[in-house]
Amino acid sequence: MLSVLRHRTYRSLFAAQVVALAGTGLATVALGLLAYDLAGAGAGSVLGTALAIKMGAYVAIAPAIGALADRLPRRALMIGADLTRGGVALTLPFVDQVWQVYVLIFLLQSASAAFTPTFQAVIPDVLPAEADYTRALSLSRLAYDLESLFSPALAAALLSLISYNWLFLGTVAGFLGSAALVLSAVLPKPAAAAPPATGSPARTGGATRLFLRTPHLRALLALNLAVAAAGATVTVNTVVYVRGALDRGAADVSLALGAYGAGSTAVALLLPRVLDRVTDRTVMLSGGLLLTAVFAPLGAVTAADGGAWRWPGLLLTWAAFGAACSLVLTPTGRLIRRAAPPRQRTSAFAAQFSLSHACWLLTYPLAGWLGAVAGLGAAVLALGTVALLAAVLAVRLWPARRPDPDEHDHSGLLPAAHPHLADAVRVRGGWRHSHHRLPDGMHAPG
CA distances in angstroms from 6 to 12, 129, 133, 136, listed in the order given: 10, 14, 13, 12
CA gyration radius, the chain: 22
Asked if 22 and 128 count as a contact pair (C-beta separation under 8 A), the reply is no
Angle between helix axes 345-374 and 43-68 (nearest 10 degrees) is 170
Look at residues 121, 196, 140 and name the one whose alpha carbon lies nearest to residue 349. Answer: 121
In this predicted model, which residue has the larger pLDDT, 238 or 162? 238
CA distance linking residue 294 with residue 317, whole number of Å = 7
State the pairing for strand pair 406-410/430-435: antiparallel
Asked if 291 and 229 count as a contact pair (C-beta separation under 8 A), the reply is yes
111: pLDDT strictly greater than 80: yes
288: pLDDT strictly greater than 90: yes
Q: What end-to-end distance do the CA atoms of the chain give, in Å?
A: 34
Q: Predicted confidence band at 201 (pLDDT cuts at 50, 70, 90)?
A: very low
Identify the top-confidence range among 55-69, 271-285, 344-358. Answer: 271-285
CA distance linking residue 341 with residue 420, whole number of Å = 6
DSSP 241: I
Determine which of 68-77, 127-136, 166-175 has the lowest per-residue pLDDT on average. 127-136
Look at residues 96, 149, 145, 190 and name the one whose alpha carbon lies nearest to residue 315. Answer: 149
Look at residues 250, 277, 245 and name the one whose alpha carbon lies nearest to residue 159. Answer: 250
pLDDT in the model for residue 396: 93
Q: At the top level of CATH, which class does the domain 2-187+204-397 belong to? A: mainly alpha
pLDDT in the model for residue 166: 84
Half-sphere exposure of 99 (CA within 13 A, CB side): 0
CA distance linking residue 290 with residue 24, whole number of Å = 28
184-195 pLDDT, tens digit each: 988 876 545 444
pLDDT in the model for residue 402: 57
CA distances in angstroms from 39 to 47, 105, 165, 244, listed in the order given: 10, 17, 16, 12
- Kindly report, as residue ranges, where domains of CATH 1.20.1250.20 are found in the chain: 2-187+204-397
pLDDT in the model for residue 423: 60
pLDDT in the model for residue 328: 93
Say what percent of the chain tops pLDDT 90: 21
User: 407 by DSSP, 3-state: which?
Assistant: strand
User: 434 by DSSP, 3-state: which?
Assistant: strand
Asked if 234 and 364 count as a contact pair (C-beta separation under 8 A), the reply is no
Q: Predicted confidence band at 372 (pLDDT cuts at 50, 70, 90)?
A: confident
Angle between helix axes 43-68 and 8-39 (nearest 10 degrees) is 150
Provide the greatest CA pair distance for the chain.
76
As beta bridge partners, residue 88 has none
| Overall pTM > 0.75 | no
In this predicted model, which residue has the larger pLDDT, 252 or 149? 252
CA distances in angstroms from 52 to 49, 56, 170, 385, 420, listed in the order given: 5, 6, 24, 20, 38
65: pLDDT strictly greater than 60: yes
Asked if 248 and 311 count as a contact pair (C-beta separation under 8 A), the reply is yes
Asked if 108 and 85 count as a contact pair (C-beta separation under 8 A), the reply is yes
Q: Predicted confidence band at 417 (pLDDT cuts at 50, 70, 90)?
A: very low
Asked if 32 and 157 count as a contact pair (C-beta separation under 8 A), the reply is no
* Burial tier of 277 (Cβ tally within 10 Å: 0-12, 13-18, 19+): exposed
